[in-house]
Chain A
């Protein structure tokens, strides 16, 4: 049975201890998450408001983002987005999901910024929890438009998320994201269509979509356009995705 845990923040000592743990994992140590950092007064502090959280499983980052929006709704999203101490506490709290051990007990944490928030450009969106919250709540993409970016498990950042959330002018533009969603997402499968990523400069793929949108952005006010209108601006290389899309 899941129990409610009061949300806290790691302090600077807690963050550095967590960073050391991540470095140990990268050196091959098979260590359990240092969960004592979450509650020790030397490494963390409480926050006002009585916010609580459950250690429950999430199938996708979208599920997590939906849950966090609900649990953190009492705090203005703009105040949360850059809160290094809170997001790092949450990463440690959910560490078994953001960095699960494989069959042999090995955890591969990747770069620190996946677990310790580095706000802003270029790594802020790459935090596995804060990045999902940004997409769903701060950028307001909600249920439908978030699916293309947040369809993966908590431990994995999709390339759609990485490429689109990395670019401020794209991630803040719902019309552009709606166009990408309509072309590249398969709702029945709950994941992107095969071949949507492709190789660099491959016609009609995500990276070409980004190139083309950035060119169009110099000429058209894309913020005032719907996804369907943007689809109509795209060149013929995207026809295979537009087939079946009511553009």
Chain B
């Protein structure tokens, strides 16, 4: 299955879907629904049946904030009885591509643009997926966030630290393999950094040291200090 979020000819965001259910042995008359959501925004689309997939002509995501990357939920439902029974479902599906830019199947951090007042960036961990919010009024902020060594070296280590603190200290989640939700994916990422094993299951000071070690390893792996210094040399 693949979902892409793209702009139509009028600039309105729509989704495109590629779906293959042949291997699931589902009844051909079962109905398929796709739900897109982000915070308060929600839209539901009928996609026809397993035997006759019919993506709707109206695939607009206009009930969802334009700056946000929605998540998707798909359900296959048996409607032959008096109540619709769910036969198969998949939730928290991230689009593969957003506005023609490939987001990558395992993107850990969404980027959104918003009016943040005088702040340049903000990490939002209160939604369905971690979001780096960038001030839409900051000049070339998208370019800076994607390639400026100063932004990369100053911001992303702190993003990593805040995310790990949230997962480990607040949510008390230390198992990188327990599911495929974002906390486990971020733990898997951190555990895969050079010299970093799995986080201590308890004892907050040890966990704090593990987080700092992970951030340091992240910086070393990306040669943060040298790249930062080089970027300053370049503008002298």
- By a CB distance below 8 angstroms, the chain B residues around A229 are 82-83
- Given that A78-B62, A78-B63, A120-B127 are contacting pairs, would A223 and B117 also be in contact in the complex, using a CB cutoff of 8 Å? no
In the complex, what distance in Å separates the CA atom of A223 from the CA atom of B79? 12
Chain B residues in contact with chain A, CB under 8 A? Answer: 33, 35, 37, 39-42, 44, 62-66, 75, 77, 79, 82-86, 114-115, 117-119, 124, 126-127
Can you list 6 A-B pairs, Cβ within 8 angstroms, ordered by A? A81-B65, A82-B65, A124-B40, A221-B85, A223-B44, A232-B83
Known contacts being A168-B37, A221-B75, A221-B86, is A85 close to B117, with CB within 8 Å?
Answer: yes
CB distance from A99 to the nearest CB of B (A): 24
Q: How far is the CB of B192 from chain A (nearest CB, A)?
A: 28
- Contact partner of A85 among B39, B82, B115, CB < 8 A? B115
B66 proximity list for chain A (CB < 8 A): 78-79
**Interface size class of chain A, counting residues whose CB lies under 8 Å from the partner chain:** 20 to 34
From B40, B42, B84, contact of A224 by CB (8 A): B84
The interface residues of chain B lying within 8 Å CB-to-CB of A138 are 40-41
- Cα(A53)–Cα(B65), bound, Å: 25
Mark out the residues of chain A between 206 and 226 whose CB falls within 8 Å of any chain B CB in the assembled complex: 218-221, 223-225
Q: List 12 extra interface pairs beyond A11-B118, A224-B84, CB under 8 A.
A: A12-B117, A78-B64, A78-B66, A79-B65, A81-B41, A139-B40, A139-B42, A221-B75, A221-B79, A223-B35, A223-B44, A224-B33
CB distance from A180 to the nearest CB of B (A): 18
Which residues on the B side are within 8 Å of A218 (C-beta)? 86
Residue from the list B40, B41, B82, B126 in contact with A122, Cβ < 8 A = B126
Cβ of B156 to closest chain A Cβ, rounded Å = 22
Whole-angstrom distance between the alpha carbons of A58 and B63 in the complex?
28
- Expressed in whole angstroms, the minimum distance between the Cβ of A168 and any Cβ of chain B is 7
User: In this assembly, does A100 line the interface, its C-beta being within 8 Å of a C-beta of chain B?
Assistant: no
Q: How far is the CA of A169 from the CA of B28 in the complex (A)?
A: 27
Residue among A79, A223, A225, A233 with most chain B CB within 10 A: A223
Q: Which residue of A lies closest to B87 (CB)?
A: A221
Residues in B neighbouring A83, C-beta threshold 8 A = 115
Report if A134 contacts B (CB, 8 A): yes
Q: How many interface contacts (CB-CB < 8 Å) are there between A and B?
A: 75
**In the complex, what residues of B have CB within 8 A of residue A118's CB?**
126
**Bound complex: CA A219 to CA B64 (Å):** 27
Contact status A11-B77, CB under 8 Å: no
Q: Which residues of B contact A85 (CB under 8 A)?
A: 115, 117
Known: A220-B86, A225-B84. A82 touches B39 (CB 8 A): yes
Within 8 A of B (CB), among A77-127: 78-79, 81-83, 85, 118-124
- With A134-B40, A221-B77 in contact, is A82–B114 under 8 Å at CB? yes
Contact A224:B117 (CB < 8 A) given known A78-B63, A81-B39, A81-B40: no
> Chain A residues with Cβ under 8 A from B115's Cβ?
83, 85
Chain B residue with the shortest CB-CB distance to A84: B117
Q: Whose C-beta in chain A lies nearest to the C-beta of B65?
A: A78
Smallest CB–CB gap between A27 and chain B, Å?
Answer: 26
- Give CA–CA (A118, B124) in the complex, Å: 11
Check B39 against A119 for contact (C-beta < 8 Å).
yes
| Neighbouring B residues of A119 by C-beta, 8 Å | 39, 126
For the complex, is A172 an interface residue (Cβ under 8 Å from B)? Answer: yes
When the two chains form their complex, are residues B77 and A78 in contact, meaning their CB atoms are under 8 A apart?
A: no
Give the CA-CA distance A132 to B93 in the complex, in Å. 29
